[in-house]
Amino acid sequence: MRSRCYVRWQHLPGANLQTVHGNIQGLKPSELKALSALYRRRLRPDQIISPELARNLCQLSLETSRKIGVMVDRRGAVTHAIVGERDTLFLPELGRSRAGSRRFRGLRLLATNLMDTGLTRDELTDLSLLRLDLVASVSVGDGGLPGLVEYATLLPPSALPAEEDGERHPWRKEGPLRVHQISEDFNELITALEGEFGASESKANDDGRPRTILVGVEQRGDRGIDRRMNELARLADTAGLNVIDRLVQRRAKVDPRTLIGKGKLEDLLVRSMYLEADLLVFDRDLNPSQGRTIGDRTELKVLDRTQLILDIFAQHALSRDGRLQVELAQLKYLLPRLHQMQASLSRLTGGIGGRGPGETKLEIHSRRARDRITRLTKQLKELGRKRELRRAQRKRAGVPVAALIGYTNAGKSTLLNALTKSTVLAEDKLFATLDTTSRRMRFPDAREVVITDTVGFIEHLPKDLVQAFKATLEELDDADLLLHVLDGSDPDLELHTRVVHEVVQDLGLEALPVLTILNKCDAVDPEALDALCAQTGGIPVSALKREGLKGLMERIEQGLWREGHGDLRSAWQTEATADA
């Protein structure tokens, strides 16, 4: 298995040449002796590379037709002499970094380049993964004279450039320059860089939350990647993650093994180690093979969008009914993956992505998992019968029901509190409400209505969750009126409206009358609000500031007891047909 450091190395046979690393097969005794003599070279502490060492390396590289490199410590002493292939250098095993993340390893890599291509991707990768002080490439000129030099150092996370076309590298390149043109003082350079790294990390506010990189894939013709990544970031925040970076790849089709391509996966590995990430979250669902491959190559916990949503549900489900439904959904999701997850279960269970049933239950054998699913299904059916009895009692009492539905975080719970003077939990987070909550609302003429708050919907809601929460959403079957709450300030209002309509159709509730409510109208420009009201037929309110509630209550009363009930029903069906 490849080590996390992603270094390539070989031990040398032969008792007299233990200090020369790499591939020495085919080398002459004189060449081996010259390679061993590199250990006698010294650099001044302020030198990145000296003309003498550069000339020595280039001459050896020309004679052997191989890439030659040395590792140099901060005192200027050569610690490793390395010989590779013509275009590849295999570094020796260096072990763990000698200090914390604010310090570098204390070694720099100086290597020749026979192809005149400057620093290679492998050298830049080693710079980041091994936390080297510096890497430099010296091109071999005519007669073995040193040509142009290119060198690179790491950038602190706070100085990373903006991402362009999915590329955002953690290093700074200098050159190409002639050896005598290099004027930077090496000691001052490293001291300044380590100071910047220390200052950058002291400003970080991790507060114990898992450091997370979000990963997205945009296929050809898919224009919604920015929206999806923003929503994924909100989901991650709701789950208690600290998002430290995003990576997006644009490609014609996804890679069947790793979702993202081989080069992008290597880039992700570099960034995850450089930023000391704990977790990778993908915006698409991963099949078992993809999750295992990515986890094995990065040695990080890997979650997809469905697992993240399941974890949020596990955190926010408070009732026994809700907790059982979350556990059922998690087991259904993990059942087909258990036989391919044995090697990585320790990374994938517990904490983020492993709440609800817990680590022990997630590691059970497939047969026991199926038995648990059967028991959970029976328990949920029993709870469903009890809910049905409560609904029947309420129906006999003649109290109508109005159910709040809408996209997650549209403000349904806040509106419930405003209408019924309740104190139901309402937070600016996705899926703050999972358990169905009902409160009574009294009208001025002594009429009453039960207002029911339901779980919010989301684009591509996992099928297992839709099925598991069908028992909770069956409260909607007995609703006399649906109150569709829209976030009037939402830039993706049309998309989120369509998502809600699709879920309602999947639940077979499209025949119910609906009243559209434009919430958060205080955050919308008045002219734009007028246009939205005309477009959607919605009633503008601000649940937070309790504005427009009187007009809303009048429309609810009209929809339940007065004429116009049929108009509401036809309006819903017209909207659903138009969206389809």
Query: CB-based burial of residue 3 (10 Å sphere; 0-12 exposed, 13-18 middle, 19+ buried)?
Result: exposed
Among 6-15, 43-52, 93-102, the range scoring the smallest mean pLDDT is 6-15
Neighbour-count burial for 550-580, b at 16+ CB within 10 Å, e otherwise? eebbebbeebbeeeeeeebbebbeebbeeee
Residue 4 lies in a domain: no
Q: What is the pLDDT of residue 81?
A: 93
Tally of CB atoms within 10 A around 361: 17
| pLDDT tens, residue by residue, 59-89 | 999 999 999 999 999 999 999 999 999 888 8
308 pLDDT more than 80: yes
- Of 375, 409, 432, the residue at which a domain comes to its end is 375
For 44, the token pair is 């001044």
Band the pLDDT of 348: cuts 50, 70, 90: very low
Residue 9 lies in a domain: no
Are both 36 and 83 inside the same structural domain?
A: yes
Residue 46 lies in a domain: yes
Are both 330 and 286 inside the same structural domain?
A: no
- Structure-model confidence comparison of residues 63 and 262, the more confident one: 63
Whole-structure pTM value? 0.71
Residues 6+ apart with CB under 8 A from 120: 87, 113, 137
Residue 414 lies in a domain: yes
DSSP character at residue 318: -
Residue 383 lies in a domain: no
Q: What is the pLDDT of residue 207?
A: 65
Q: Are strands 211-219 and 146-154 parallel, antiparallel or unpaired?
A: unpaired
Tally of CB atoms within 10 A around 336: 11
Of the spans 417-426, 438-447, 533-542, which averages the highest pLDDT? Answer: 533-542
Residue 441 identity (one-letter amino acid): M
Are both 38 and 181 inside the same structural domain?
A: yes
Band the pLDDT of 460: cuts 50, 70, 90: confident
Residue 130 lies in a domain: yes
Q: What is the pLDDT of residue 161?
A: 60
Sign of CA dihedral 32, 35, 39, 42: positive
Neighbour-count burial for 388-417, b at 16+ CB within 10 Å, e otherwise? eeebeeeeeeeebbbbbbbbbbbbbbbbbb
- Of 375, 407, 428, the residue at which a domain comes to its end is 375
214 neighbors 247 (Cβ within 8 angstroms): yes
Mean pLDDT, rounded, of the chain: 79
- Of 203, 220, 251, the residue at which a domain comes to its end is 203
Are both 425 and 572 inside the same structural domain?
A: yes
Residue with tokens 């830039």: 491
> Across residues 503-512, what is the average pLDDT?
81
7 pLDDT more than 90: no
100 neighbors 17 (Cβ within 8 angstroms): no
138 pLDDT more than 60: yes
> Across residues 512-524, what is the average pLDDT?
89
Rounded Cα distance between 377 and 518, Å, is: 37
> Across residues 402-429, what is the average pLDDT?
82
Are both 503 and 418 inside the same structural domain?
A: yes
Are both 239 and 188 inside the same structural domain?
A: no
CATH number at residue 268: 3.40.50.11060
Are both 187 and 216 inside the same structural domain?
A: no
Residue 473 lies in a domain: yes
378 pLDDT more than 80: yes
Are both 422 and 497 inside the same structural domain?
A: yes
> Across residues 310-319, what is the average pLDDT?
78
Residue 389 lies in a domain: no
The count of structural domains within the chain is: 4
Of the spans 177-191, 276-290, 308-322, which averages the highest pLDDT? Answer: 177-191
Are both 215 and 173 inside the same structural domain?
A: no
Q: Could you tell me the residue range of the domain that residue 110 belongs to?
A: 15-203
CATH number at residue 550: 3.40.50.300
Are both 35 and 64 inside the same structural domain?
A: yes
Are both 121 and 243 inside the same structural domain?
A: no
Q: What is the pLDDT of residue 562?
A: 61
Are both 352 and 482 inside the same structural domain?
A: no
